[in-house]
Structure 1
């Protein structure tokens, strides 16, 4: 500013560093009159204009800085930051099901069921199915009438049905009204435990609350499955069976319907003769035991029991004495016999009967079946003992107590 304004005299303006404007000397009388008309505020106006111009330049500079701040310089490929380490949630997530490690977790479905899917229905419009249980029965065409009465007692809305055809005959059941909703599996001369081991994997039945794995020669005139399950839930029974009508073929007195009445009993008392059972007895067949003809398993109990079934021991003799290990807790409380809903066991031999009308051949077949059953029990007990001896980390939750001699 010192170069611009140097002096203000007699109403004239001198610009320092510039050649004087001709005709504007103060000694020229003709110019005095002109200089007299220059308003005294002119220098202030000039100063104002210069200040405004400077402000514009400053604003322009500031705006440039602002733009630079809003648009930082892009990072080049060479300056890409290193990838972050996997978070702890990925390191600590559960092991994926076998064979699915290459898949995103959300697409994995490691469980299934036996529910039918209509071919033309939009799967996204499907309603959630009601809670169900599974009824699985080995059947032969000779027992068609008995099986029809049995199955008809189980409402379709509450039970999925699976038939194991041990005689290979499937077509002969198609005239029954419930046949089309059943899952039919045929394999000649196989037992229900063979079928159960191969077709009732825990992941296949994981959506069912309970698994009924029943023989076919059962009469259900005094049995209601829905009332039965209500009692099982109320009593907290993980493994159970309906009591046997005393007209039944009874192998162990624990399974017979109690004479005193009541909904459930869990133990049996026998104070004379062999195989005594007292109030302080803690194991089968005095308590914590069901027979293998009409067992009912909770989902968790079946997951355990399925793993105990041996592939090659198809009659499962001996397994019943170990089922209490799958009771999900105290077997003396979580295993029981339901008295108020009872069945009649007819005890009809079927396996080993060739059905060829030759009694001698059929009898010989049943004899071989019984011999193998006894042998299987010996093998199973030996395998159990060997497994216990080999597993150093296993602790028996039901150690053998001292021999009981008195009743509580």
Structure 2
């Protein structure tokens, strides 16, 4: 080919080569940029996913709800009854409290007087029927507003463990867990709550009238000209000796089992301490100080100005005629239970035998609880007793 023609061909192809090179260069730039953007986007995505996964791992979710979306989980509940149609009645603006009481039909009149002291505008009422007789209470004005639970021959603490779970009663500021044999003529619940709020009592009880009651511990007896007391001195007995420097129950930091009042925080602790199988709860009163949310000598007290009479009726396994032999000195009162519906009325001997069997079982449970506590303390290496040992006296 002639040189002239070669030069002409080269000149004609040169623009095409430049154009093709420019296209390839620009295209490669776009490809690299797109690749970088894709890589960066994937990196950010994986970082977000990793952060989200780590964040989700740190979220506290109730056991059994991990497969549910967080917003649908309803952790707590309440005892409010709901209508089958329409809207529920508006709640009182006042903080709601709860009265839970174990009852038998034989004490119907006394229980009615007790419940009427607790206004429905500020109290939910829960009635535990240990004799199975629920219908016998229907004509009482408050009965339709109460939650009725029935189980034959079960104690107050058996009911409480199964039906007063802390997540169920969390809306209630105070839980009154009372026996049926209390006289409330000199008790005003409004004043009582006002006092325990002002005194910041986490666990409390109304004082016991010593003139008309069975008093097992001097600490719970009413002190005249006093609003609240948190300790007692008992140098001569009966019962355990209490000195000025005594730091533990039953000299301070103590309530009995017949009429305790718990704050919601202290109840959450106490509920966990109630044993599933030890239904009489003997020994529990001596350990309630661990649930006082701090210093038991300050946060537990007896309200003297609002006091009750403790009749001490041994309805569990016996009858009123057994009263004289119902309780040993220095022991908490038994919680009540007695079969009397649809059954033959037991003879005096049967009642006495039943009562003795109940008392024997209560002592057995007391020893079991003490041993479980010692074992738990021994095996829990992380637990530190927040209270100093009481001073020993000769």
Structure 1 equivalent of residue 388 of structure 2: 399
User: What is the CA–CA distance in structure 2 between the aligned matches of 1:216 and 1:111, rounded to whole Å?
Assistant: 29
Structure 2 equivalent of residue 267 of structure 1: 231
Structure 2 equivalent of residue 103 of structure 1: 68
**Any idea what SS the aligned residue of 1:301 has?**
helix
What is the deviation of 1:128? 7.4
**Any idea what SS the aligned residue of 2:49 has?**
coil
User: What is the CA–CA distance in structure 1 between the aligned matches of 2:235 and 2:146, rounded to whole Å?
Assistant: 46
Structure 2 residue ranges without an equivalent (≥5) = 1-33, 319-338
1:19-73 Cα offsets, whole Å, 9 max, x none, are: xxxxxxxxxxxxxxxxxxxxxxxxxxxxxxxxxxxxxxxxxxxxxxxxxxxxxxx
- The 5-angstrom pairing of residues 4-403 of structure 1 reads 79=38, 81-82=41-42, 83=45, 84-87=48-51, 90-91=55-56, 93-122=58-87, 130-246=94-210, 247-259=212-224, 261-272=225-236, 275-353=240-318, 354-355=339-340, 356-403=345-392
1:84-138 Cα offsets, whole Å, 9 max, x none, are: 2344782574320111111222221111110111222247x96676421110000
User: What is the CA–CA distance in structure 2 between the aligned matches of 1:135 and 1:127, rounded to whole Å?
Assistant: 17
TM-score by length of 2: 0.79
What is the deviation of 1:351? 1.1
User: What is the CA–CA distance in structure 2 between the aligned matches of 1:338 and 1:86, rounded to whole Å?
Assistant: 57
Structure 1 equivalent of residue 321 of structure 2: none
User: What is the CA–CA distance in structure 2 between the aligned matches of 1:127 and 1:323, rounded to whole Å?
Assistant: 32
Q: Residues 148 and 97 of structure 1: is their aligned pair in 2 closer, same or farther, counting only changes over 3 Å? A: same
User: What is the CA–CA distance in structure 1 between the aligned matches of 2:355 and 2:156, rounded to whole Å?
Assistant: 16
TM-score by length of 1: 0.77
- The answer on whether the counterparts of 1:280 and 1:404 sit within 8 Å (CA) in structure 2 is no
Structure 1 residue ranges without an equivalent (≥5) = 1-74
Q: Residues 97 and 122 of structure 1: is their aligned pair in 2 closer, same or farther, counting only changes over 3 Å? A: same
1:222-272 Cα offsets, whole Å, 9 max, x none, are: 00111100000000100000001111111101000003x121001110223
**Any idea what SS the aligned residue of 2:205 has?**
strand
Please, what is the CA RMSD of the aligned residues? 2.2
User: What is the CA–CA distance in structure 2 between the aligned matches of 1:236 and 1:369, rounded to whole Å?
Assistant: 36
Structure 2 equivalent of residue 64 of structure 1: none
- The answer on whether the counterparts of 1:281 and 1:404 sit within 8 Å (CA) in structure 2 is no
What is the deviation of 1:201? 0.5
- Rg comparison, structure with higher value: 1
1:286-317 Cα offsets, whole Å, 9 max, x none, are: 00000000000000000000000000000000
- The answer on whether the counterparts of 2:248 and 2:390 sit within 8 Å (CA) in structure 1 is no
**Any idea what SS the aligned residue of 2:303 has?**
strand
User: What is the CA–CA distance in structure 2 between the aligned matches of 1:122 and 1:139, rounded to whole Å?
Assistant: 32
Greater length-normalized contact order (CA 8 Å, ≥ 6 residues apart): 2
**Any idea what SS the aligned residue of 1:376 has?**
helix
**Any idea what SS the aligned residue of 2:60 has?**
coil
What is the deviation of 1:333? 0.4
Q: Residues 93 and 327 of structure 1: is their aligned pair in 2 closer, same or farther, counting only changes over 3 Å? A: same
